[in-house]
Amino acid sequence: MSIKIISGGMLSTVQDEGRTGFQSTGFSVSGVMDRDAYRDANYLVGNFNGEAVIEMTFTGICAEFLCDGVIALTGGDFSAKLNGALIPRYRCVKVRRGDILKMGAAVTKMRAYLAVRGGIDTEPFLGSRSTNLKIKAGGYEGRKLQPGDILPVGSGENCAPFKERELPEPVYSDEIRVIPGPQEGFFTKKGIETFYTSLYTVSAESDRMGCRLDGEAVENHGTDIISDGIAEGSIQVSSNGQPIIMLADRQTTGGYAKIATVITADIPKTAQKKPGDKIRFTPVGLETAQKEYRKTENRYRKLFLED
């Protein structure tokens, strides 16, 4: 099976769980921004081995299916239509050769995911099919999808037996839970209070590298540090006092002090924030972060192993 791209939307790329094990040599992890939506989509079509999907930002793709198959859409509502008729999200949908999928602009959230039974079967780069746009590697020719691209789809031999599957759509709040960062001492008492009491607005300058925020400046003693490692969810504070939440395409090291780190369980809803959306940070302890992580992982373990 394969998929022909008629329109690639604003920014649509092939992504999987990311390129791990290479940050020490300077390669970003990349991968999907909303890991929960990604795993939901793969579960719905019976992909149980971390197959690649299409991630769409702001606007979706228009594509023709060149063979029969099964698809699922998760993440934001992009008013998806199959042959002109609206199709549901968070439910597997059968498609036939010649069917046209057309998606519009985001109605809710910022990113949508299209999984196909068998997975998008592009050539792996360093063990991952994720697109790294900065170095033009992985995914489909290391770039965003364009009209005329033909995406190969796996045979589905390793998929779970087909059955009708559906899942509830998650509801995301404005609250983002964080644990204190490794350089909290670089910030004044007033700055830390500002960080936890302010309502920040997602900037239009946000991208896959980081979610940039606008709001009251976080008072500090100077935020320049000797560059050290950047984890997913690290919140750097730039020289102008504005926070930046580091996401999938983050650099491997950085020289701004980190005031906090978004807990893993809240990365998906952070990644789905659109410019103009609001974010409020809530401090939690490491025990809470670990509990929420285990809760999420246990949910997917149950879905994938007990289905």
Residue 49 DSSP class: S
Alpha-carbon torsion angle 81, 87, 89, 95, nearest 10: -90
Same-domain check for residues 25 and 143 = yes
Instruction: Tell whether 23 is covered by a domain.
Output: yes
Instruction: Tell whether 141 is covered by a domain.
Output: yes
Range of the domain at 102: 2-152
Same-domain check for residues 142 and 203 = no
Strand partners, 245: 211, 235
Instruction: Tell whether 165 is covered by a domain.
Output: no
Nearest-angstrom CA–CA distance, 28 and 134:
9
Same-domain check for residues 8 and 130 = yes
Same-domain check for residues 105 and 193 = no
Same-domain check for residues 8 and 148 = yes
Same-domain check for residues 147 and 203 = no
Buried b (16+ CB within 10 A) or exposed e, 102-115: bbeebeebbbbbbb
Same-domain check for residues 298 and 239 = yes
Same-domain check for residues 145 and 186 = no
Instruction: Tell whether 163 is covered by a domain.
Output: no
Strand partners, 236: 244, 258
Phi, psi of 139, rounded to the nearest 5 degrees: 55, -135
CA 294 vs CA 187, 270, 286, 289: distances in Å: 31, 19, 12, 9
Instruction: Tell whether 164 is covered by a domain.
Output: no
Radius of gyration (C-alpha) of the chain in whole angstroms = 20
CA 113 vs CA 95, 103, 135, 140, 161: distances in Å: 16, 11, 23, 16, 22
Residue 3 DSSP class: E
Give pLDDT, residue 304.
86
Same-domain check for residues 14 and 108 = yes
For residue 251, is it left (φ>0), alpha (ψ between -120 and 50) or beta?
beta
E strand map for 58-166: 62-65, 69-75, 81-82, 85-86, 93-95, 100-102, 111-116, 150-152
Closest-CA residue to 31 (of 211, 235, 249)? 249
Instruction: Tell whether 291 is covered by a domain.
Output: yes
Nearest-angstrom CA–CA distance, 17 and 52:
8
Give pLDDT, residue 249.
96
pLDDT digit string, tens, across residues 167-180 = 999 988 889 999 99
Give pLDDT, residue 51.
97
Pick from 152, 186, 217: which residue ends a domain? 152
| Contact (CB, 8 A) for 175 and 200 | no
Same-domain check for residues 148 and 6 = yes
Instruction: Tell whether 237 is covered by a domain.
Output: yes
Same-domain check for residues 195 and 148 = no
Name the stretches of the chain with pLDDT < 50. Answer: none
Instruction: Tell whether 170 is covered by a domain.
Output: no
| Contact (CB, 8 A) for 78 and 111 | no
Same-domain check for residues 288 and 232 = yes
Strand partners, 111: 57
Q: What is the largest CA-CA distance in the chain?
A: 62
Return the CATH number at 180. Answer: 2.40.100.10
Give pLDDT, residue 307.
66
Q: How many domains does the chain have?
A: 2
